Amino acid sequence: MNVADIPLISLITFVPLVGAIVVAFLPRERAGLIRATALVFALVSFGLSLLLLIGFNPTNPAFQYQEVHDWIPVFGIQYKVGADGLSTILVVLTTTLSWISILASFRPIKERLKEYMISFLILEVGLIGVFVALDLFLFYIFWEVVLVPMYLIIGIWGGSNRIYATIKFVLYTLVGSLLMLVAILATAYTFEAATGTWVGAFDFITLRNFAATTGFVSNVQLFAFLAFFLAFAIKVPMFPFHTWLPDAHVEAPTAGSVMLAAILLKLGAYGFIRFAVPLFPAAAETFAPLIIVLSLIAIVYGAIVALVQPDWKKLIAYSSVTHMGFVTLGIFIFQEQGLQGAILQMINHGLITGGLFLMIGVMYERTHDRTIARFGGLAGRTPVYAAAFGFFVFASAGLPGLSGFVGEFLVLLGAFAYNPWVAAVAASCMIWAAAYLLFMFQRIFTGELSDFLRGLGNHLTDISPIEALTIVPLGAMIVVFGLFPGLILHMVQGTVSAVLTEVQGVSPIHLFFWQ
């Protein structure tokens, strides 16, 4: 059988599901077996995604490895998946962090291990699905599928205030996503009304061409874009919609936080790039100024608030707000470097913040406390841990040579071309980031060992090999992408130019209360 015939993407997507089912039938008491099985399936999916990466042809801007099966022909709804550069990168990111997170859950998770692994694998299915779905309906389904396992992961294995956090997370996300559902249906219907056929009404590629040629009527664009925007903005999360994030992060178990920060937040940005902007360019142009302002607020505001966080995880959570602010900024200046920077920033934030949360988890395992005030002088006691953490801290602060820098710089460059003052405000985050990150690092690692830590005695061991195993890949990638960002940039070049050709030169819709 020909290699091209292998439904590679479907395999990547559903191998974890198979894993979940297998795990479901394993005896509850065989913890080791359950762990191993989950890890193996995650690794298989990871390996397959690497095949995708290798087989992907960056010079071809089209969606590759497409699989199309009719699903609900009445409405032209298909099972249609495919990957362009962006999808491929994000899929690989997902599969990578999935197995890392599962590995990282080995020690912390003892309660209801089986349910945990099942939820986690299903979560992975949803995440990958979102990135490869080329049918809006399918996309929405995967989008919602992500919600449930995350809800359980936070709600069951989370911290003391987990239920509040998880319900907030779900409801908040639902409000956005359900409106998005209405928007998706409205879009499809508009297409059907215009062309007289349901065929392709949910097919992204068809819709994109439609948007490029005929274009959706302006009020549909406005409504649909706003709905999409709300859904994605909540997920990103953008400035006024961000308050679910700190709670969710603080309460979630380590691996949960990792997936949340590294992948879930990317869903929103991905949605913007893939759907919101190309489908409704005029509306996007219309609201771009507003979104840019919100992004700037997020960048500065998030950083300042992060400065005074008493909780280790909360601090990183707010730093996520800042970094994702860069992403949305980069997207909505509609400028080549900006968009590439945004995508790069997505990946980097995934790696870096994921790493940070893993590290925090490592220490939480020993201290069962995240109150920064109770730490201090850790560097003397756990030098390797401190060094590794410092590495991620500086990566997060955008130190050149590490991956964080290139993304931010490209966004700045784009922003500057858009408007120097925007760039100036955004650039100020270089100071902020340094401030809150180093302030945190200083409080936790330098000085004399705090009484609390001294009280832990021998529990306070340095990082263990298996933990290191979860960190090292991330660190390596951070360095590699820092020195050779081209690896990613070449992949996404096609996506970027495709999106920009959609949106550039489109004149914004004139609103009586706007512009």
**Interacting residues with other proteins between 303 and 332 (CB under 8 A):** 304-305, 307-309
Give the nearest distance from C-beta 326 to other proteins in angstroms: 14
Give the nearest distance from C-beta 467 to other proteins in angstroms: 19
| Chain residues 371-410 in contact with other proteins, contact rule CB under 8 A | 377, 379-380, 394, 399-401, 405-406, 409-410
Stretch touching other proteins by CB under 8 A, among 54-62, 241-249, 277-285, 506-514: 241-249
- Give 46 or 206: the residue with its C-beta nearer to other proteins: 206
Query: If we measure between CA atoms, which residue out of 52, 39, 40 comes closest to residue 11?
Result: 52
| Chain residues 114-143 in contact with other proteins, contact rule CB under 8 A | 115, 140-141
Concatenating the DSSP letter of every residue in 166-226 gives HHHHHHHHHHHHHHHHHHHHHHHHHHHHHHS--TTSSBHHHHHHHHHHT---HHHHHHHHH
Size of the site for other proteins (CB under 8 A): 89
Candidates 71, 199, 293, 479; binder of other proteins (CB under 8 A) is 71
| Chain residues 284-303 in contact with other proteins, contact rule CB under 8 A | 301
| Chain residues 6-65 in contact with other proteins, contact rule CB under 8 A | none
Give the nearest distance from C-beta 47 to other proteins in angstroms: 27
Candidates 50, 178, 194, 199; binder of other proteins (CB under 8 A) is 178
- Give 51 or 435: the residue with its C-beta nearer to other proteins: 435
Q: How far is the C-alpha of 385 from the C-alpha of 431, rounded, in Å?
A: 25
Cβ contacts of residue 339 below 8 Å, gap of 6+? Answer: 273, 330, 331, 414, 496, 499, 500
- Give 190 or 257: the residue with its C-beta nearer to other proteins: 190
Two tokens, residue 31:
């913890």
Query: Would you count residue 263 as binding other proteins (CB under 8 A)?
Result: no
Give the nearest distance from C-beta 2 to other proteins in angstroms: 29
Query: Would you count residue 167 as binding other proteins (CB under 8 A)?
Result: yes
Give the nearest distance from C-beta 462 to other proteins in angstroms: 12
| Chain residues 84-113 in contact with other proteins, contact rule CB under 8 A | 112
- Give 265 or 492: the residue with its C-beta nearer to other proteins: 492
| Chain residues 495-514 in contact with other proteins, contact rule CB under 8 A | 496-497
Burial 37-74 (b: 16+ CB within 10 A, else e): bbbebbbbbbebbeebbeebebeebebbbebeeeeeee
Cβ contacts of residue 60 below 8 Å, gap of 6+? Answer: 494
Cβ contacts of residue 346 below 8 Å, gap of 6+? Answer: 90, 266, 269, 270, 327, 407
Stretch touching other proteins by CB under 8 A, among 45-53, 160-168, 252-260, 324-332: 160-168
Give the nearest distance from C-beta 427 to other proteins in angstroms: 5
Helix/strand/coil (H/E/C) assignment for every residue in 283-323: HHHHHHHHHHHHHHHHHHHHHHHHHCCCEHHHHHHHHHHHH
Give the nearest distance from C-beta 140 to other proteins in angstroms: 7
| Chain residues 411-440 in contact with other proteins, contact rule CB under 8 A | 412-413, 416-417, 420, 423-424, 427-428, 430-431, 434-435, 438-439
Give the nearest distance from C-beta 18 to other proteins in angstroms: 16
Give the nearest distance from C-beta 510 to other proteins in angstroms: 22
- Give 62 or 308: the residue with its C-beta nearer to other proteins: 308
Query: Which amino acid belongs to residue 255?
Result: A
State phi, psi for 347 to the nearest 5 degrees.
-60, -50
Yes or no: say if 17 and 125 are a contact pair by the CB < 8 Å rule.
Answer: yes
Query: If we measure between CA atoms, which residue out of 273, 22, 281, 14 comes closest to residue 138?
Result: 14
Give the nearest distance from C-beta 368 to other proteins in angstroms: 20
- Give 431 or 466: the residue with its C-beta nearer to other proteins: 431
Give the nearest distance from C-beta 266 to other proteins in angstroms: 20
Yes or no: say if 470 and 103 are a contact pair by the CB < 8 Å rule.
Answer: yes
Query: Would you count residue 179 as binding other proteins (CB under 8 A)?
Result: yes
Yes or no: say if 460 and 368 are a contact pair by the CB < 8 Å rule.
Answer: no
Q: Long-range contacts: 226-229, Cβ < 8 Å, 24+?
A: 226/183, 226/283, 226/287, 227/179, 227/180, 227/182, 227/183, 228/180, 228/183, 228/271, 228/272, 228/275, 228/276, 228/279, 228/280, 229/272, 229/276, 229/287, 229/291
